[in-house]
Structure 1
């Protein structure tokens, strides 16, 4: 995670596999990407008949899709670390039948109390 005593950055939250996050930041981060993709898709549909604008919004949608996929895997890894499981289990999010089950489990399963092998207690007071 971030250095001891420092607040984690947004870059760490969205694009780093190290450390731990709780249920609420995990869910809110997923919602952020969901609304971002929804907004961009709405813009693509809005400018369907205008080639230049449609091209730009489509590129933004594709870029957002790539960034969100990478970010959501990093978020899942940190959430698995909080529960005490290894990060590679995040690949279960790419298995169609398991994906919704894993997502719901990551949203509802409480993290381990205290420090674990993946990081210190995320609820400990900051210095």
Structure 2
């Protein structure tokens, strides 16, 4: 469970880096729950699931954006790249593709390599 809780523990931490091991499981669980709430809303827009979907989305908005920003930092991109998500049709796909590669080895301008063993 640590892999899903790690981004939530860093709720609004936009600095630093996030490994793929931290980012992808969190995003997978996020999207599965989002779709489980979204599909009933599509079939019955008047259902109480609308409230649950809104509450879920609002509660996880900040940690999800923070996880994306830290992941972008790991691949040596500015967090401002997150805004590409707002390009219609392709922005979200481009953002996810940017997040696929392994992070920069060693320290980069956003912090030390999260894969490196702790010093000391």
- Residue 30 (1) aligns with residue 22 (2): no
The aligned residue for residue 102 of structure 1 is 95
- Residue 11 (1) aligns with residue 27 (2): no
- Residue 115 (1) aligns with residue 112 (2): no
Distance 2:71 2:8 in 1: 15
The aligned residue for residue 3 of structure 1 is none
**Structure 2 spans left out of the alignment, 5+ residues:** 1-5
Q: Deviations over 1:88-115 (max 9, x none)?
A: 11111121223202212212x2211111
Distance 1:33 1:114 in 2: 29
Distance 1:45 1:115 in 2: 45
Distance 2:93 2:23 in 1: 15
**Structure 1 spans left out of the alignment, 5+ residues:** 1-7
Distance 2:7 2:58 in 1: 21
1:43, distance to aligned residue in structure 2 (A): 5.7
TM-score by length of 2: 0.75
- Residues 94 and 113 from structure 1, CA distance in 2 versus in 1: closer, same or farther, beyond 3 angstroms? same
Distance 1:94 1:75 in 2: 17
Q: CA RMSD in A?
A: 2.7
* Pair member with larger Rg: 1
- Residue 40 (1) aligns with residue 43 (2): no
Tell me which stretches of 4 or more aligned residues in structure 1 moved more than 6 Å.
none
Q: Secondary structure at the match of 1:114?
A: coil
The aligned residue for residue 80 of structure 2 is 88
